[in-house]
């Protein structure tokens, strides 16, 4: 491949919009899905109903952090689509805020006993 062909390939890649924040979106969806695991029917084994609850905070925090990093990298790049990163940050926040509120409420309730 000559250098002209390599330059043409690079120019063609720049024409397409670059997707950013895919990992953030995937982690955010996984965190929100883990929130609903305890609501599964009783016929589902307990390890599948309650074990994912322990991953809500890490998945949600990773979704927010990776989405913020993707948004930061996409700043100034007109060809980048930021919707996946934004949705990943939003889903991560939706999963983290109730989990943290529940932990704070549990700590407060146990302290007042």
Is 13 a residue whose pLDDT tops 60? no
Q: How many domains does the chain have?
A: 1
- Give the residue carrying structure tokens 């990776």: 66
pTM: 0.76
pLDDT of residue 48: 87
Residue 11 inside a domain? The answer is no
Residue 62 lies in a domain: yes
Domain span at 29: 18-111
pLDDT > 90 in the chain, percent: 50
CA dist 113 and 104 (Å) reads 15
Closest CA to 75 of 61, 59, 86, 60: 86
Does 56 reside within a domain? Answer: yes
Q: Where are the alpha helices (DSSP H) in the chain?
A: 3-15, 22-35, 46-50, 56-74, 83-111
Which of the listed ranges 9-13, 19-23, 42-46, 92-96 does the model predict with the highest average pLDDT?
92-96
Give the pLDDT confidence score for residue 34 in this predicted structure. Answer: 92
Q: Say whether pLDDT at 7 is over 70.
A: no
């Amino acid at each position: 491949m000559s250098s002209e062909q390599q330059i043409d390939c690079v120019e063609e890649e720049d024409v397409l919009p670059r997707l950013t924040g895919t990992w953030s979106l995937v982690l955010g969806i996984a965190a929100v899905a883990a929130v609903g695991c305890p609501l599964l029917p009783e016929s589902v084994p307990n390890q599948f109903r309650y074990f994912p609850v322990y991953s809500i905070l890490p998945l949600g925090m990773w979704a927010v952090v990776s989405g913020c990093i993707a948004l930061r990298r996409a700043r100034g790049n007109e060809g980048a689509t930021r919707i996946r990163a934004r949705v990943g940050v939003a889903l991560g926040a939706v999963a983290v805020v109730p989990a943290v509120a529940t932990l704070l409420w549990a700590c407060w309730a146990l302290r007042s006993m």
